[in-house]
Amino acid sequence: MIEKQQWHSGLTSSSSPVVGEKETQRLPLSLSKRISSLFQRLIPTRSFWSDMSSLAGKCTQCLRRRSLTKRLCRQQKSREGGWVTLSNPPNQVGTIIKWEAPDRVCVRLLDFLIHPSKWTEQSYSKEEVSPYTYVRAENVEDLLSHLTQCFVSRREEVRTLFADLHREIFCKQTPFWDVAVDLEPGACISTPHIHIIVLELLWKLFPKAEAILDIGSGSGFVTAAFAKAAPHAQVVGIECSSNLIKFSRWAVEQVLTSEECERVTFLKGDGKEGRKGEHFDIINVAFMCRGLPSPLVEQLKPQGKMIIPLSTGTRSSYEKNYEAGWFVLIEKCSDGTIEQYPMFKCSFVPSRSGESPSLLSKVLFFLKGGLDWIRGVRPHYVAEDSKEKPPQDESGDEM
């Protein structure tokens, strides 16, 4: 008994040898401390989850870039309705109307400085045309330079406006690739060349426009462009996705002045119904319609213009989730009659009519790279270096 007491006192004595201190550190811990220590080793730390999230984000970006690259390659193949670059006049862009023979095509020359009714069609041999290049630019200067060389962008004012809007805020992933980028299931931001064409076709109406309707406003890019281009117009954007309405409200605040923001309104609803009881100088539709919606025709003012994709009832030749159709300019005469000018074939997302994405569409979107959207974090098209974040608690107004 005495020896046992001496052994304990030897461990606690300050004059004990160094070996005694090491032995003290090896004394068995209580059961609760052992369990706590075990769990700390098994459960990943916060830094582990942060690293995993970063890795998942990088994988998501790689999947998206691969998907968009494949879309570009399919889009660039020569086909009826596809875009081509001509050798005479050099770099002039056109669209294939029909194949006249195995080695000859009929091409409509696209000139957005003049009215589509004045566009000409000519016959060319296969050697005189080449597939239009949908550029993968890394900055807005290279993108606009390419669109200028191909005569898609004709006005310096349009190019300046496009650059001032900072597309990278509205579309984080490959903002300067000339390709449509998915935002969420059933919604995308259109190609830059489509945005340029819309602005070119409507440019002369902007100075006197008082009311503009942007249907399928999506990220809000075109809505913001209308607010900048038309200094006196009230601009209404209609979108069926609450998430995109929240984001677009935030995004336009980053690029517009306070006065311009006051003239912009985003509403949630069925865009094909427009805004009952109101009339607009300009109506822009950003989804494929199966037939011309009569409410929109009624709401278009005399001398007003509408740009709308009208479906041919077939799927897109390069993206199965899109519908194929014609990009059409609608003009309303003073007597109320309507004139239609089909300009070129196009592919757009079909109308969703306000329904929420299904579970299957969410899973498919995840497999294509929509990890951020599924996790419920801020949309992937928000710029990483933005100081502000989109609001998370505000919902879209119901029409």
The CATH number, out of the four listed (3.10.20.30, 3.40.605.10, 3.40.50.150, 3.30.590.20), of the domain defined by the range 166-398: 3.40.50.150
Predicted pLDDT at 189: 92
pLDDT score recorded for residue 396:
41
Whole-prediction pTM: 0.75
Tokens of 235: 């601009």
| Residue 395: per-residue pLDDT | 38
Structural contact between residues 108 and 121, judged by C-beta atoms closer than 8 angstroms: yes
Tokens read off for 159? 């190019």
**Structure confidence by residue, pLDDT tens digits, 167-191:** 999 998 889 999 898 888 778 899 9
CA distance 395 to 266: 11
pLDDT computed for residue 377 by the predictor: 39
Supply the pLDDT for residue 72.
64
pLDDT for position 133: 86
Ranges of the chain whose pLDDT falls below 50: 1-27, 354-356, 369-399
Distance CA 211, CA 283 (A): 9
Q: For residue 304, what are its two tokens?
A: 């007003």
359 burial level (CB within 10 Å; 0-12, 13-18, 19+) = exposed
- 350 has which bridge partners? 288
pLDDT at 12: 42
| pLDDT, position 397 | 42
Both structure tokens of 313: 């009832």
Backbone angles phi, psi at 89, to 5 degrees: -70, 150
Q: Name which of 98, 198, 211 is nearest 155 in CA terms.
A: 198
Q: Which residues contact residue 121 at a Cβ distance below 8 angstroms, ignoring those fewer than 6 apart?
A: 97, 106, 107, 108, 109
d(CA 166, CA 140): 8
At 212, is the secondary structure helix, strand, or coil? Answer: strand
* Amino acid at the residue 337: T
> Among 175, 261, 189, which Cα is nearest to 224's?
261
Looking at residue 262, its pLDDT comes to 96
216/352 Cα distance (integer angstroms): 10
